[in-house]
Chain A
Amino acid sequence: MKQARRWLLLAAALTLLAQPAYAQKKKPKGGTKGAAPTQEGAPAPAGAAPAGAAPVPVDADAEPAPAGAPPPAGADTGAAGAGAAEPGGAAEGGMDVCQITPDAPQCQAAKEFNLAVEAQKPIHAEIYAVQQQYVIKSGRFELQPYFEITLNDQFVSHDAPGLALNYYITQVLAVGLNGNWYQGLNADSDFNFQNRREARIAAPLNEYQASGDLNFTYVPMYGKFAGFGDFIFHYDAYIDGGVGFIRTRPIPVIDPDNRKFDWNTLINFDVGIGLRIFFNRWLAAVFEIRDLIFFDKIERLTIANGTGSNSATSPSTWYDPDTHFTNDVQMQIGLALFLPTSFEYRLPK
């Protein structure tokens, strides 16, 4: 077992070595490294560099073409033909934009392209409602520390810190693990005691120690918000689900003199829905509602009065004979850190 632990650590180290997570498909071989790929059937964007030129930055459409760079194949680099538009639209009258901002991309491009010819080319533009996702998740790890509070248990709250680690296989699908530690934070509500004292009736109570799950996460929704109409931030929403374990035990309230329960390890299923609000391309706030579903063992409401294995001191008489379907609905608030913190886009925006 000691050997295995070392090998696991070595494997983790080797896995991390391969991390610079290029969140896009491999570039084609043949010396086009750094060239701006173009959409199939669509003309190259203005200012796009040819093969062998410098890499395309994220805001490629705001950058002028490199000085001396040859135009794309098929482009007419000669003087604009008859009817060609003036750079900046001065031919239509009004102020020439290029006189004000000669460095503007369209002014640079207009020196190299015959805009009239370019305008005649068929365009198969594909416009997305949300252009170029703000964060590329594919190939990255997400480390998610959080704190969860109970939403649906008025008898005992099961608050817990937790940690999740997800790996995004694609932009929308991740696999990961998460775990919560509840012990020490289970809180028995005052109303349980009042109910027992005033009505002489007890509700069986359970506390949790820990839980852990293997989860799959799917991200079907993403978008952006304008804050106060001034700044824009991005978010996505996800659903997740999986299977794991939870360790619970009853809090003895029916016969606390005799009963002392050990932790039971139970299988649980979990489903959740979450929202991630990105502060930047590697850090986000996370809000999630998650339901842990399991069959819990609760304290028996009656006290055995027999002898031997049927006595009040026999653990076999302490549990209710039936298991109880339990939903532990939690609200989680935390942070998401994406590693590695940098990535490259496959296409210019």
Chain B
Amino acid sequence: MKPRFVSAVLAAVALATGLVTSRAAEAQEIQLTGPLKGAPAVRQERLYRKGRFEIAPAASFSLLDEYRRTILAGGRLTYNILDWLGIGVWGGFGAASITTDLTDRIDQAGGAPRDPLTAVNVNHLNNPSGGFAPFAAQAAKLTYVAAPQLTFVPFRGKLAIFNKIFVDTDFYASGGVAFVGVDERGNCGAPDQLKCSNPNSFKLTSTSKVTWTAGFGLTFYPANFFSLGVEYRLLPFAWNRAGFDSKGSGTNGNFPDGRIDGQDEEYVFNQLVTVSLGFYLPTKPKLSE
């Protein structure tokens, strides 16, 4: 008991000392009086956005992809009605589509077996050059995105780097409706459709989805007429990324039903990181009062 008592006393002393010495927090708060009272927070602020068009070529990279990564080449076109509000469009097309390690492993020796258990889900067609039809040929991919959107810019400031480099910066959030082009495995298995074990049923077909998109980002202004930007964006929609028959029968439809259809699509919060280079017209920003 004695060592525990001593330990408890010491712990209490440590805690009490910490609490006692951490009082008097508000001693340095600044109360503005005199001529500055009621003055705007920032004077002569460079209004990088108000009344200007932004043309920003951009590259977007998808995150957390199971079977295929996409790089979208595109951009953002925005007219900034106010310094904190803009309207425009963001989009791009799938410039590159890179398979993941898992996709490669399905095709490798010792990968997915081609037997009756997988006949509906993996193409058993023999390649003339050896092996089977590549799994990548049935993995879905993004082909384009176009999203009319509003952009809000609640925060505006500057960044000091090593006390030597100073960059005007703003934080923005944007959101809107997105039209997404997807190539994914077509429907099969219904009475009037191909059987899902038919090699031709593994071909990708183009579809369009309508969803919402939202993101936030930082814009850095090294000069009056151009900026650098980085943005994180959500693009949620349902799609069948592997072309598998996963759902449609059994309890809660959680078992395969031998068909590929909308029930096999899964709603996913697709994530993208975008980097951009923005150019502004007119090239010279206005100043606030």
A-to-B contact residues, CB < 8 Å: 2, 5-6, 9-10, 12-13, 16-17, 19-20, 57-59, 62, 97, 101, 103-105, 128-130, 151-154, 190-191, 194-195, 197-201, 203, 220-232, 235, 237, 280-282, 301, 339-345
Given the known interface contacts A13-B10, A221-B161, A281-B25, the answer about A227 and B154 at a Cβ–Cβ threshold of 8 Å is yes
- Tell whether, in the assembled complex, residue A5 and residue B7 are in contact, meaning their CB atoms are under 8 Å apart: yes
- Tell whether, in the assembled complex, residue A340 and residue B35 are in contact, meaning their CB atoms are under 8 Å apart: no
Bound: A248/B171 CA distance, A: 37
> In whole Å, how far is A268's beta carbon from the nearest beta carbon of chain B?
21
Bound: A199/B159 CA distance, A: 50
- Tell whether, in the assembled complex, residue A340 and residue B7 are in contact, meaning their CB atoms are under 8 Å apart: no
A-B interface, 4 closest residue pairs, ranked by CB to CB distance from nearest = A225-B157, A341-B25, A9-B10, A13-B14
- Tell whether, in the assembled complex, residue A9 and residue B14 are in contact, meaning their CB atoms are under 8 Å apart: yes
- Tell whether, in the assembled complex, residue B3 and residue A2 are in contact, meaning their CB atoms are under 8 Å apart: yes
Smallest CB gap from B21: residue in A: A19
Given the known interface contacts A226-B41, A343-B28, the answer about A198 and B121 at a Cβ–Cβ threshold of 8 Å is yes
Specify the main secondary structure of chain B where it touches its partner. Answer: loop
Stretch at the interface among B112-120, B187-195, B197-205: B112-120
* Residue numbers in B under 8 Å from A345 (CB-CB): 28
Give the size of the chain B interface in residues (CB under 8 angstroms): 68
- Tell whether, in the assembled complex, residue B6 and residue A6 are in contact, meaning their CB atoms are under 8 Å apart: yes
* Residue numbers in A under 8 Å from B246 (CB-CB): 194, 197-198
CB of B129 closer than 8 Å to a CB of A: no
CB of B42 closer than 8 Å to a CB of A: yes
Given the known interface contacts A62-B34, A154-B64, A223-B160, the answer about A228 and B84 at a Cβ–Cβ threshold of 8 Å is yes
Smallest CB gap from B40: residue in A: A229
Given the known interface contacts A223-B169, A226-B42, the answer about A339 and B118 at a Cβ–Cβ threshold of 8 Å is no
* Residue numbers in B under 8 Å from A229 (CB-CB): 40-42, 45, 83-84, 156, 288
Interface centre among A228, A235, A345 (most CB of B within 10 A): A228
B-to-A contact residues, CB < 8 Å: 3, 6-7, 10-11, 13-14, 17-18, 21-35, 40-42, 45, 63-66, 83-84, 102, 105-106, 110-113, 115, 117-118, 120-122, 135, 154-163, 166, 169, 171, 242, 244-246, 256, 266, 288
Bound: A339/B30 CA distance, A: 20
Smallest CB gap from A154: residue in B: B64
Bound: A103/B33 CA distance, A: 10
Bound: A301/B66 CA distance, A: 19
Bound: A154/B32 CA distance, A: 51
Smallest CB gap from A100: residue in B: B35
Q: List 20 A-B contacts (CB under 8 A).
A: A6-B7, A6-B10, A13-B14, A58-B29, A101-B35, A104-B35, A190-B266, A191-B266, A198-B120, A198-B122, A198-B244, A199-B122, A199-B242, A201-B112, A221-B162, A225-B169, A339-B21, A341-B23, A342-B25, A344-B28
Given the known interface contacts A339-B18, A341-B25, the answer about A130 and B6 at a Cβ–Cβ threshold of 8 Å is no
Given the known interface contacts A6-B6, A17-B17, the answer about A129 and B160 at a Cβ–Cβ threshold of 8 Å is yes
Bound: A224/B218 CA distance, A: 14
Smallest CB gap from A227: residue in B: B155
* Residue numbers in A under 8 Å from B169 (CB-CB): 223, 225
10 new A-B contacts, CB < 8 A, other than A6-B10, A301-B110, are A57-B28, A58-B29, A97-B35, A130-B158, A154-B66, A195-B242, A220-B162, A222-B160, A226-B42, A227-B155
* Residue numbers in B under 8 Å from A12 (CB-CB): 10, 14
- Tell whether, in the assembled complex, residue B160 and residue A221 are in contact, meaning their CB atoms are under 8 Å apart: yes
Interface centre among B66, B122, B162 (most CB of A within 10 A): B66
- Tell whether, in the assembled complex, residue B35 and residue A198 are in contact, meaning their CB atoms are under 8 Å apart: no
Bound: A237/B118 CA distance, A: 51
Bound: A101/B113 CA distance, A: 88
**CB < 8 Å neighbour of B244 from A103, A130, A199, A232:** A199
- Tell whether, in the assembled complex, residue A230 and residue B41 are in contact, meaning their CB atoms are under 8 Å apart: yes
* Residue numbers in A under 8 Å from B21 (CB-CB): 16-17, 19-20, 339-340
- Tell whether, in the assembled complex, residue B28 and residue A342 are in contact, meaning their CB atoms are under 8 Å apart: yes
* Residue numbers in A under 8 Å from B256 (CB-CB): 197-198
Bound: A203/B135 CA distance, A: 16
> In whole Å, how far is B171's beta carbon from the nearest beta carbon of chain A?
7
* Residue numbers in B under 8 Å from A199 (CB-CB): 106, 112, 118, 121-122, 135, 242, 244
> In whole Å, how far is A287's beta carbon from the nearest beta carbon of chain B?
11
**CB < 8 Å neighbour of A339 from B22, B28, B34:** B22
